[in-house]
A and B are shown apart, each in its own frame.
Chain A
Amino acid sequence: MSERKILRGCVALAEGAIAAGCRFYFGYPITPQNDIPEYLSARLPQVEGVFIQAESEIASINMLLGAAAAGARAMTSSSGPGISLMQEGLSYMAGSELPGLVVNITRIGPGLGGIAASQGDYRQATRGGGHGDYHLIVLAPNSVQEMYDLTIKAFYLADKYRNPAMILSDAILGQMKEPLSLDPPPLVLPEKPWALTGARGRKAQLIKSLYLADGEMEQHNWHLHEKYRRLEREEVLVETDLEEKMEVLLVAFGSCSRMVHSAVELARSRGIRVGFLRPVTVYPFPRQALREVSREVGKVLVVEMNTGQMWDDVRLSLYPGCRAGLLARPGGGIPAPGQILAEIENLVKAGDGIDESVYQA
């Protein structure tokens, strides 16, 4: 019987990390993710873990790199500007094939921006963010339950693929409270024969991202590429709620998908046949699922709290001939279910086809 509690999203995420066996946290304060380090600073010592407030985000990510190289399950968390500072370290981790979790409770950008909810870091998160040819494994929860579950999942994926993983979330999910079941899976920590644990009794090992010999770097990049292709084949997570003969398919991720869920219910109560697709992993993106679903649908509407970053991925994935419009609220605006419903009704009335229009809510 699992324990049912009502928790803040950031706290659920921290409990997920503990449940996944994470015993090292390094971080530097920034709003709106401070609930995570505040909670873990008290929680980690209870499980003989280590909490370090680093001197900067650059230090945090490099401490994470070091802990990962030593074979530990470890994490850091930050928000917008702090995540930008970590990009060099993330690139090094991906290049060195080191697992670890980075949490981005996003804020509004660019620059110092603001602390309200935004999805403006989608592109940075899903494209890699730092220099070089790599991806992070990126999971985008949309409930407090998923803040817990997907954090556990992220640690396992990171270890399985020896690649840094990211939880992409925001202030809505970080601050809101919902009931959740704390149901930790049995803890299985994988063997890490590559880890730097001291060379007594075995040959010395090296973890690096520098390859200078002829062709070595190209070979390394192909090796990483094959890993990302495997992720795309085997690890895509997507939630769908479809109907027969859908008039409109809505696509949204993260907190924004909650408003879209409400709008879908409203539209259905008015007799409109609406479908809903939510990427749970935003990298790897559910290209195949979207392509198949969009084959049967004339119109697609992407709803995002940015100016259309996931829209790009949706348009790359649609069945040929199918087109997607965008309903956007960047800069801290939240698309209300009523606004989304109004746009759905406009699309239904508009007759056949849809151009790639941007609707400012």
Chain B
Amino acid sequence: MYYDVIFSGFGGQGVLLIGDILAQAAMLENRHVTWMPSYGVEIRGGAASCTVVISSQKIGSPITEEPCGLLAMSKPALLKFQHKVKKGGLLVVNTSFVEPEMITREDVIKICLPASEISYRETGDYKMANAVLLGAFVSLSRVVTLQGMEEALGVFFKEEKQKLLPLMIKALQYGSEFVCAGMNGDG
């Protein structure tokens, strides 16, 4: 089993965090995993991304030229990475920030969802948009289980952040159900 994915968006949207949560879940499910952030002069509102590699074997390269999946939370993220996604791979796009017409790939599985609006509607807060998209990604890629994800969330949202845990879980579950119900934004 091998899967690599790039999570990308603006700094502050939480793409590094959801990558971290995915990596934690993979470790809890006894997979080999690497989490590699983009590294440069990173600022809030600038570009941010991370690569997560999950495998049943020892992992060599923690970076990828041709990811199995891309989760894009912003226009620059989609434009920078969509051409790299493997044919037949997975593209999860946040249409709260990206017009679906910007997606040029026809040879991948596409999931479009207005994650910020969904996050606000479901949790009363825009900030869980990342978890909505993560839920959609996980239920399509099946690279870890949704239960594993919820367990991993518990590692990150404890003590003073614990009050956010039920909201994150709700957002994650909604993203997952969105996919299961086939409510694809682009029809």
A binding-site residues for B, Cβ under 8 Å: 4, 6, 32, 115-116, 171-172, 175-179, 258-265, 334, 336-338
CB of B60 within 8 A of CB of A261, answer yes
Q: Which residues of A contact B63 (CB under 8 A)?
A: 172, 259, 334, 336
Instruction: Please report the number of residue pairs spanning A and B whose Cβ atoms sit closer than 8 angstroms.
Output: 61
Contact with B33, one of A179, A259, A260, A264 (Cβ below 8 angstroms) = A179
Question: Are A337 and B61 in touch, CB under 8 angstroms?
Answer: yes
Closest 10 CB pairs of A and B: A262-B60, A261-B60, A177-B35, A262-B61, A179-B27, A176-B36, A259-B61, A336-B65, A258-B60, A6-B27
Nearest-neighbor residue (CB-CB) of A171 within chain B: B39
12 A-B residue contacts at CB 8 Å?
Answer: A6-B27, A6-B35, A116-B39, A116-B40, A171-B39, A172-B36, A176-B62, A259-B61, A261-B61, A262-B61, A264-B60, A338-B65
- A258 touching B39, Cβ below 8 Å: no
B36 to chain A minimum Cβ distance, whole angstroms, is: 5
Given contacts A176-B34, A178-B33, contact A258 B40 (CB under 8 A): no
**Chain B count of residues within 8 A CB distance of the other chain:** 19
Query: Which residue of B23, B59, B60 contacts A260 across the interface (Cβ within 8 Å)?
Result: B60
Minimum C-beta distance from A142 to chain B (A): 10
Residues of B bordering A, CB below 8 Å: 20, 23-24, 27, 32-37, 39-40, 58-63, 65
State the Cβ distance, A329 to closest chain B Cβ, in Å.
Answer: 12
Contact of B61 among A115, A175, A177, A258 (CB under 8 A): A258
Q: A258-B60, A262-B60 are in contact. Are A175 and B36 (CB under 8 A)?
A: yes
CA distance A32 to B38 in the complex (A): 12
Q: With the chains together, A336 CA to B67 CA distance in Å?
A: 13
B39 CB contacts on chain A under 8 angstroms? 32, 115-116, 171, 175
- Residue picked from B20, B40, B60, most chain A C-beta under 10 Å: B60
Across-interface contacts of B36 in A (CB, < 8 A): 172, 175-177
Tell me the bound Cα distance from A334 to B60 in angstroms.
Answer: 13
Question: How many angstroms between the C-alpha atoms of A261 and B65 in the bound complex?
Answer: 15
Contacts of A334 in B (CB 8 A): 63
